[in-house]
Chains A and B, each alone.
Chain A
Amino acid sequence: MPAVLDDEEIPFVIGFVDDPRRAVEVGGAQYRRGQTGYSISWPIGELWLRARAMTVGPGQVAVIASAGPILNDWWSLLRSAPQDPTRPLLSAGVARRSVDVPLPSMPAVPVMVVPASDDFPQTVAMCTHPGGIADDETLTLFHWASLGVVKAAVRLLVEYRELVGEPPEVDVGLGEGGTVTIPLADVLATAAEITAALDPGSASSST
């Protein structure tokens, strides 16, 4: 399979348009390869839920899903606020603890929420694993763990919607080039629908 992904490419968790680049379908998901990792896209209706597998350190790999930059302004405020059970994933991100995200007929996936930083200005849900990016064990684990991180990233968007109240009236670019946009409010409504479809309220906190 040729490498079609950019090395720095971290897709937004919800894909609203088909990715025309070459992919291989494995176990119900689309895989696209890059030089240093690969992406995993799960179909849900006419949408896609997207994660990225990558090396994050020596002997350490991760599968991550991005909730985008919309939470960036909030993290310093969240750090100064008490933990709030109505926003379990954001609270976990502040406390730097993992959240167990359950999957149907599978063990729960331990997911870390990584706040946006100057180095990487997006909030991501991440599951790490010691090993190599192309190890059999990693490939098998990340196939399912990708579902956990995309579920967590989508739920982060739902928690953001609750946090912000009335969403700002801004548009979000879709696909490459940013020529097609969708209102942020619609993105958040879609996230809520996806979360409802994927068994809402199932994330439980662990230390």
Chain B
Amino acid sequence: MLELRHLSKVYPNGTAALQDFTLNVANGEAVAIIGGSGCGKSTLLRLIAGLEQPTKGDVLVDGERITQPHPAVGLVFQEPRLLPWLTVGDNVGFGLEGVPAAERQRRIHDALESVGLAEQAGKWPREMSGGMAQRVALARALVTGPSVLLLDEPFSALDALTRASLQDHLVRLWQDSRPTLLLVTHDIEEALVIANRVIVVRPRPGRIDAVFDVSLPHPRDRDAEDFESLKHELRGALDRSLRDQNRAAG
């Protein structure tokens, strides 16, 4: 279980990025966090990943308090952030230092295979397209078998076709190994394709605005009627949240 208890984050420059954010995510659940830019979504993931310390509140993974990066928590950034001096295979195996060579090789291969890039282990990151690089980054996070997987707008820089195929791919990966998934996005469709629960966040400071349960079975048909109606509902909630924010700002 991932527990966020009254999380607040004020940056040293005084920006209140997050305020009193409380959320419980059961093991194996897939939750999407959606909201406009600057509403603290990345901050939330960085707190859970242990890259930042909360000003107030706690992050707990299976009862253990997170104060620094933890092996049970994997993070995929918005950009691939591959290390250019390592081959694709060695990038994937970056977190496997100390694992015996044969075992390491096997796990790298399995992780690359799970993202459909088994043949690319010897290539350099320079030779990867944007979508391939992001899949390598996903494999790098998956290879250590994290029980919580955090994704920060992982597909937002990709073209629509690649994005849709990677979303479907992520759903299959999640169904296979069932990590707890926390996906940050500003794409309504992406949230609905992947998540069991969608959380709308409103900004300045970031806090929960609305929660939607999505009970459609996976894999989801983007053109189905109930999917469309959920999309409308979610868009309405998001628009309301943005409007309120603009009124507050103006």
Chains A and B belong together in one complex: no
Q: Which residues of A contact B (CB under 8 A)?
A: none
Interface residues of B (CB under 8 A from A): none
